[in-house]
Amino acid sequence: MAAPGARPAQTMIEFRDVHKYYGDYHALRGITATIRAGEFFSLLGPSGCGKTTLLRTIAGFEGISSGVVLIDGKDVAAVPANKRPTNMVFQSYAIFPHLTVEQNVGFGLRREGLSKEALAARVAEALEMVGLKGYGARAAHALSGGQRQRVALARALILKPKVLLLDEPLSALDKKMREQMQVELIRLQRQVGITFILVTHDQEEALVMSDRIAVMFEGEIAQLADPETLYRRPNSKKVADFIGTMNFLPASILSESDGQIEVEAKGFGRVTLAADQAPGAATGGEAMVGFRPETLTILFDGQQATDRETMATIEEVVYYGDMTYYDVKLDGMDSATRISMRNVFGRPVLDIGTRTRIAWSPGALVLFR
Amino acid sequence: MKFSGLRLYTILYLVFLYAPILLLPLFAFNDSKVIAFPLSGFTTAWFAEMWADTQLHNALKNSLIVASSAAILATTFGVFAARASTRFNFPYKAGIMGLVMLPLVLPEMIVAMALLIVLLAMGVNLSIFTIILGHVLICTPFAVAILSSAFQSLDKSLEEAAYDLGETPLSTFRLIILPLVMPGIVSSLLISFTISLDEFIIAFFLGGNQTTLSVYIFGQFRFPAKVPSIMALGTILVLLSIVLLSIAEFFRRRGLARSGTKDTGGFL
Amino acid sequence: MAQETRWGRFRRSEAASGYLLVSPTAAYAILLLAAPLAMIILYSVFRDGYLTVIPAFTFDNYVETWSSPIYRSVMIRSLSVSMAVTLVTVLLAYPVAYFVSFHVDPSRKSLWLFLITIPFWTSYLIRVFLWKVILGYNGVVNSALMSIGVIDEPLTWINYNIQAFVVTLAHAYAPFAILPIFVAMEKIDRSLLEAGQDLGESRLMTFWRVTLPLSMAGVVAAVLIVFIPVIGDYVTPNLIGGGKIPMIANMIENLMLVRDNKPLGSAIAVSAMLIVTVVSLIFVFLNRRFLGGTK
């Protein structure tokens, strides 16, 4: 991605073994990670995993119990929230209800001692950037959810922070609005080039928007990677389960030598996997191979498998309009496997009970052990 | 109407609530020394007689001093306690807040006597100052209740946002918190003022030879001839409370509109 | 990072900020409320030495409070007056709260509440006095009835007695009872009532099985908020009863100031607080036990 001759991406935020306790509760358990300058970074996880706490340690709203947080190379332990080069978009947006849109957006500029005209110009510029040109005089409580979100963004970005922190900013919006705002946030981030750190519990949102994602469970980062790696090569069953849908088949490892792993997978038989298909550390548990529903294809009359092929019986059909999900029982398996198929014009949706051929590819498998 | 029975009952109930008070203007303007039917004619003489009593002027002045001081002090204490209890957790919070709110569930006579004993034992001279001490005690719980709901409806992230945008805790309080709870502060001031103005027992026992309005009124009850002018005074007081209450209600609603919350009706 | 001291951690902690903020109010309450109450309790176990208090421990004041027929009858009178007032007020208030909460358009609720609260904020003394004027021997009721010829001589059973106390106090504390019940009713999720009817209950049974139990917390609050001040009322016995039918507050005043027996007065005050506490606790307990209401 980096242009030839460009410097390697600089580090904007660095966590070094960060721990946070609330009384006896261990909220952050040794977070070590770096966030690069100018990237769109997401903290993804279920509620209570510590993602918001981690975000608030960057903002300065939460102190840490041990470890170091560096912003742009500087230890911020002693820097209070109002002196940090970060600004936040709150989950509730925190629009000051007694002020107008203009006064909200210009709130943080009060201390810069700008002239009236300069202030108005900066505010107008910020409003235009978020698509709220001409809304300046509106009362804050007369805004819709999407407009509040934009005011919150303008108010934070007007201070040109090094890092913009977004705490589940889209969770209060309806589905259509959310999708629209996702696109706008990406556009905005490219335009201003500021590091964005997003907290979300919505895996789809994280995949759509982020350059890199840290998946968190119970106060720890389970995996930190770009969206594609996270989706295709999750390093644990837990991450695989949290992001999208994954099928699992019991497997036994037959042999392992120079980057080749021989596996016997129930329903698929004997397969050879490359070393990068087992990204996780060995846990000592039962070995499993996993694969995404869309990596399997139902073969219709005359179609040929490009790689491997197996027989199955359709047990359940769920029609989604553009997609159809089939739960099938692979021959030799007791439990169902999910397959998703894009619906193509002229091709029928199959009935329950149909016997069918399934095409699959060993390259799509991930080994968990 | 479908529930006309219930509506009729409620209206009758309101009549029961208002009937005695409606007698005030009726007999205040009635040209007779006796409070009895039938009415005898219209006069404004009782208002003149009421105002001619210079003791009333003194009592009124004392009451205004006491009620304003009590309202300001109780609201100040209320701001501290309400802010502390809605924003922070600390050990023994329930106990401390319980003590502050205790006068709500304590017969006033007991508060008055307990204070009186201590003040006498300390050799403090009774005056309007000692009345203020007592009134602050009984107004503070109301102030705390009103202000707590004002602070409660304040989203914590508003403060964090201001802090995040570079303000200090102090300027955050001035720019964000204070304007947003101001309606609560105004209604706390008005309600504390009204309570203090109306309070009798503490004013009676802790005032020494200083009289407030309520103590003055109580004294007048002994003289049957004074009853019509008390009716006149009562009429004025009722009008005054309605005005004060309407202002308080206005501020409460404006507070709700500002913070964008739904009106759940009524203060307290 | 340098090792923080315990004090340093405390100073920046939430608890410290909380204590700092609450301290002015708390200090005031401790000095002017807790300390005086402690003093009363202390006095109640001291001996009276006419015009002075002798700091010698004794239970005699309590023995006298609880064994003397005079004090006992005053206590019983106060208790029965305030129980009657509470019963009347809460029973009369419940339908009003119900009406305003369930049958008034939401936008007009605050207007109704405003109407209900106004009389409460008009001078308490004057309201009590008005009842004396209304119910008195030559009062409004008697003069009105006589002038239209319903009666020939004034009714006497309406004036200067316990019934008159109950009417006066029930009127005085009416809004006190309505507000907490109303607040509790407002919190009831309206879909619960629809669910009740959806599950086959009639309107009446839905009220009985859903609305009433859920509003019980408000009823408990109403009972306590009426019962407690009424038992300590001073003005009504004084004005309506002409001082001849004392209640606890009048008795305390008499002992403390007229007879200057502060230890005995304190013992009665402490006993009154105990009675109030015990009755309140019993009521809250009964409510929890039989109705499952929460406070």
**pLDDT tens, residue by residue, B159-182:** 999 999 989 888 998 999 999 888
Number of domains present in the structure of chain B: 1
Q: Contact A318/A325 with Cβ under 8 angstroms?
A: yes
Residues of C in contact with B214 (CB under 8 A): 123, 125
Look at residue B73 in the predicted model and tell me its pLDDT.
97
Residues of B in contact with A82 (CB under 8 A): 163-168
Task: Identify the band that residue B253 occupies on the pLDDT scale cut at 50, 70 and 90.
Answer: confident
How far apart are the CA of B107 and the nearest CA of chain C, in angstroms?
Answer: 5
Residues of B in contact with A141 (CB under 8 A): 257-258, 260
C123 contacts B234? CB cut-off 8 A: yes
Nearest to B198 among C22, C123, C234 (CB): C123
Residues of C in contact with B228 (CB under 8 A): none
How far apart are the CA of C142 and the nearest CA of chain B, in angstroms?
Answer: 8
Short-list C236, C234, C232, CA closest to C129: C236
Residue B268 has pLDDT above 50, yes or no: no
A82 contacts B166? CB cut-off 8 A: yes
Look at residue B76 in the predicted model and tell me its pLDDT.
96
Q: What average pLDDT does chain B have? A: 86
* Interface membership of B195 toward A (CB under 8 Å): no
How far apart are the CA of C292 and the nearest CA of chain B, in angstroms?
Answer: 24
CATH 2.40.50.140 positions along chain A are: 245-369
Nearest to A87 among B157, B164, B176 (CB): B164
Cα A39 from Cα A235, distance rounded (Å):
22
Residue B136 has pLDDT above 80, yes or no: yes
| Domain contains B180 | yes
| Domain contains B16 | no
If DSSP states are collapsed to H, E and C, what string results for chain A? CCCCCCCCCCEEEEEEEEEEEECCEEEEEEEEEEEECCCEEEEECCCCCCHHHHHHHHHCCCCCCEEEEEECCEECCCCCHHHCCEEEECCCCCCCCCCEHHHHHCHHHHHHCCCHHHHHHHHHHHHHHCCCCCCCCCEHHHCCHHHHHHHHHHHHHCCCCCEEEEECCCCCCCHHHHHHHHHHHHHHHHHHCCEEEEEECCHHHHHHHCCEEEEEECCEEEEEECHHHHHHCCCCHHHHHHCCCCEEEEEEEEEEECCEEEEEECCCEEEEEEHHHCCCCCCCCCCEEEECHHHCEEECCCCCCCCEEEEEEEEEEEECCCEEEEEEEECCCCCCEEEEEECCCCCCCCCCCCEEEEEECHHHCEEEC
C18 contacts B88? CB cut-off 8 A: yes
Domain hosting residue B149, numbered range: 67-258
Task: Identify the band that residue A2 occupies on the pLDDT scale cut at 50, 70 and 90.
Answer: very low
Residues of B in contact with C43 (CB under 8 A): 117
Residues of C in contact with B88 (CB under 8 A): 14-15, 17-18, 21
Residue A347 has pLDDT above 90, yes or no: no
Give the mean pLDDT of B11-39: 83
Nearest to B234 among C126, C249, C256 (CB): C126
Residues of B in contact with A80 (CB under 8 A): 163
C121 contacts B198? CB cut-off 8 A: yes
Look at residue C244 in the predicted model and tell me its pLDDT.
81
Residue C45 has pLDDT above 70, yes or no: yes
Q: Report the sign of the C-alpha dihedral through residues C117, C123, C127, C130, in that order.
A: negative
How far apart are the CA of C124 and the nearest CA of chain B, in angstroms?
Answer: 7
Residue A270 has pLDDT above 60, yes or no: yes
Look at residue C2 in the predicted model and tell me its pLDDT.
39
Residues of B in contact with A107 (CB under 8 A): 162, 165
Q: Residues 152-181, chain C: which have Cβ within 8 Å of B?
A: 171, 174-175, 179
**pLDDT tens, residue by residue, C175-195:** 888 888 998 888 888 788 778
Nearest to A97 among B163, B165, B180 (CB): B180
Task: Identify the band that residue A32 occupies on the pLDDT scale cut at 50, 70 and 90.
Answer: very high
Nearest to B158 among A80, A86, A96 (CB): A96
Of A91-95, B252-256, C131-135, highest mean pLDDT: A91-95
Residues of C in contact with B188 (CB under 8 A): none
Residues of A in contact with B161 (CB under 8 A): 88, 90, 94, 96, 155
Look at residue B203 in the predicted model and tell me its pLDDT.
94
Nearest to B167 among A82, A94, A155 (CB): A82
| Domain contains B224 | yes
Subunits touching A (CB < 8 Å, at least 3 pairs)? B
B166 contacts A108? CB cut-off 8 A: yes
CATH 3.40.50.300 positions along chain A are: 11-232
How far apart are the CA of A94 and the nearest CA of chain B, in angstroms?
Answer: 5
Segment among A47-56, A311-320, C215-224 with least mean pLDDT: C215-224
Q: Which of B155, B165, B176, B180 to mutate to test binding with chain A, by most A CBs within 10 Å of its CB?
A: B165
**What is A245-369's CATH number, 1.10.510.10, 3.40.50.300, 1.10.940.10, 2.40.50.140?**
2.40.50.140
Task: Name the closest residue on chain B to residue A95, using Cα atoms.
Answer: B158
Q: What average pLDDT does chain C have? A: 83
| Domain contains B3 | no
B244 vs A129, higher pLDDT: A129
Residues of B in contact with C133 (CB under 8 A): 23, 27, 35, 227
Q: Which residues sit opposite A29 in a β-bridge?
A: A19
CATH code for the domain of B210: 1.10.3720.10
Q: Is B45 left (phi over 0), alpha (psi -120 to 50) or beta?
A: alpha
Q: Residues 45-84, chain C: which have Cβ within 8 Å of B?
A: none
How far apart are the CA of B245 and the nearest CA of chain C, in angstroms?
Answer: 8
Look at residue C41 in the predicted model and tell me its pLDDT.
92
Residues of C in contact with B268 (CB under 8 A): 117, 179
Subunits touching B (CB < 8 Å, at least 3 pairs)? A, C
* Interface membership of A82 toward B (CB under 8 Å): yes
Residue B137 has pLDDT above 80, yes or no: yes
B106 contacts C34? CB cut-off 8 A: no
Three-state secondary structure call for residue A306: coil
Task: Identify the band that residue C17 occupies on the pLDDT scale cut at 50, 70 and 90.
Answer: confident
Residues of A in contact with B163 (CB under 8 A): 61, 80-82
* Interface membership of B91 toward A (CB under 8 Å): no
B237 contacts C126? CB cut-off 8 A: yes
**pLDDT tens, residue by residue, A184-197:** 999 999 999 999 99
Look at residue C5 in the predicted model and tell me its pLDDT.
58
Look at residue B261 in the predicted model and tell me its pLDDT.
52
| Domain contains B58 | no
DSSP letter assigned to residue A237: H
Domains of chain C: 1-44 (no CATH), 62-291 (1.10.3720.10)
User: E-assigned strands of B85-242?
Assistant: none
Q: Which of B154, B158, B164, B176 to mutate to test binding with chain A, by most A CBs within 10 Å of its CB?
A: B164
**pLDDT tens, residue by residue, B26-83:** 888 888 777 777 777 888 888 888 888 889 999 999 999 999 999 999 999 999 999 9
For residue C288, count CB atoms less than 10 angstroms from its CB and return exposed for 0-12, middle for 13-18, buried for 19 or more.
middle
Tokens of A162: 């090094």
**pLDDT tens, residue by residue, A207-260:** 999 999 999 999 999 999 999 999 999 999 999 999 989 999 989 888 888 788
Give chain A's length. Answer: 369
Q: Contact A341/A358 with Cβ under 8 angstroms?
A: no
Residue B266 has pLDDT above 50, yes or no: no
A90 contacts B157? CB cut-off 8 A: yes
Classified by CATH at the fold level, domain A11-232 comes out as Rossmann fold (3.40.50)
Residue A181 has pLDDT above 60, yes or no: yes
Q: Looking at this protein, which amino acid is placed at residue B201?
A: I
Segment among A2-6, B10-14, B69-73 with least mean pLDDT: A2-6
B163 contacts A82? CB cut-off 8 A: yes
A90 contacts B166? CB cut-off 8 A: no
| Domain contains B263 | no
